[in-house]
Amino acid sequence: MKKVTVVGAGKYGSMTALRVAEYDLVDSVVMTDIVDGLPQGLALDMNQSRYVENFSSKIIGTNDYEDTADSDVVVITAGLPRKPGMTRMDLLEVNANIVSDVTKNILNYSKSPIIIVVTNPLDQMTTLVSQVSGLPKNKVIGQAGVLDSSRFAYFISEKLNVNMNEIEALTLGSHGETMVPVPSQCRVAGKPLNELLSNDEISELVQKTSDGGAEIVGLLKTGSAYFAPSSAAATMVKSIVSDSNEVMPACSWVDGEFGINDVFLGVPTKLGSNGVTEVVEIDLEESELNALKGASEAVKAKVEELNSILSQ
């Protein structure tokens, strides 16, 4: 049976841990945090829901990395969330220190886990985990595209007043200003989105998707979104622990696909028990491909920024 660890028992981490446990696919879900008592208290509360919700996966709350030993999958959520007006980049330095520390601690007890990164700024933190861990590239993945696609789908469903299960939506690129929604791959009840909405209307939904996280941060005033984000992270864990090889947009190492090289970027990714099984090259319109290439350049520039901060 499998073991999943979630680092950071804040809003995003605790909700992810609960969702994974409720799938009932693993033996245990370990939640760890630097705050004494927080993961333990939350784990106790979650375990006391197992009788009603009828799942067997045990939730273990701890401040000790020894309890994370031999994890198959680790989700890193530790870090600070955005405050109103902050961009994900403002979080760079503080979260880089947290994430690199967490990665070293995890690797002390788990030899070759698959690591899913959710801490922002996402693309840079995913790169950092890869650098610090030295794990094979297929074992480090960032969560962004499932969430952004789900937000896009929500805005499409509201605009057209259709059920969510009739919508196929896709976003690629970075988790940030250079997110690349892909209208050519979006369908509503099998019909292409651009037959149902004008270009201007699609652009409006694209903008709302891009601003989706910031809109929630602005309303909440403290903290950032976690219900939809945790669904996204948990579904990635599910595809890995059940080896279902589902294709979903994820921040994966791109090595020649789409004519792009050497960067962690949001691309369609097949996820199975070994992590990334394949980066799936789908057909994109020229403008979408150019936007994806633009996003890769933007992420590379931000990674340089990260590296210069780390070398100071």
Which residues are catalytic, by number?
Answer: 175
Name which of 90 and 168 has its Cβ closer to ligand APR. 90
Q: Give exposure, 198-215, as e/b (b: 16+ Cβ within 10 Å).
A: eeeebeebbebbbebbbe
Which strands make up the sheet holding 191-192, listed edge to edge? 167-168, 187-188, 191-192
The reply on whether position 20 binds ligand APR by CB under 6 A is: no
Nearest to 142 by CA among 87, 79, 220: 79
Dist CA 109 CA 233 (whole Å): 22
Report in angstroms how near the CB of residue 133 gets to ligand APR at its nearest. 15
Name which of 196 and 214 has its Cβ closer to ligand APR. 214
The reply on whether position 102 binds ligand APR by CB under 6 A is: yes
Name which of 33 and 123 has its Cβ closer to ligand APR. 33
With H, G, I as helix, E, B as strand and everything else as coil, classify residue 283.
coil
The reply on whether position 220 binds ligand APR by CB under 6 A is: no
Instruction: Pick one of 42, 78, 234, 276: the residue that binds ligand APR (CB under 6 A).
Output: 78
* Per-residue CA distances from 33 to 70, 76, 78, 110, 233 (Å): 18, 11, 8, 17, 18
Size, binding site for ligand APR by CB under 6 A: 26
The reply on whether position 142 binds ligand APR by CB under 6 A is: no
Cβ–Cβ under 8 Å, residues 5 and 62 = no
The reply on whether position 127 binds ligand APR by CB under 6 A is: no
Name which of 12 and 152 has its Cβ closer to ligand APR. 12
Q: Which stretch binds ligand APR (CB under 6 A): 7-15, 196-204, 231-239, 283-291?
A: 7-15
Residue nearest to ligand APR (CB): 10
The reply on whether position 65 binds ligand APR by CB under 6 A is: no
Helices 145-160 and 212-220 pack at an angle, to 10 degrees, of: 90
199 residue type, one letter: N
Dist CA 9 CA 81 (whole Å): 13
> Pattern 80-99, binding to ligand APR, x per CB under 6 A?
-xx------------x--x-
With H, G, I as helix, E, B as strand and everything else as coil, classify residue 142.
strand
Site for ligand APR in 150-169 (CB under 6 A): none
The reply on whether position 43 binds ligand APR by CB under 6 A is: no
The reply on whether position 226 binds ligand APR by CB under 6 A is: yes
Burial class (CB in 10 A: 0-12, 13-18, 19+), 305: middle
Interaction site with ligand APR (CB under 6 A): 7-13, 33-35, 77-79, 81-82, 95, 98, 101-102, 118-120, 223-224, 226, 229
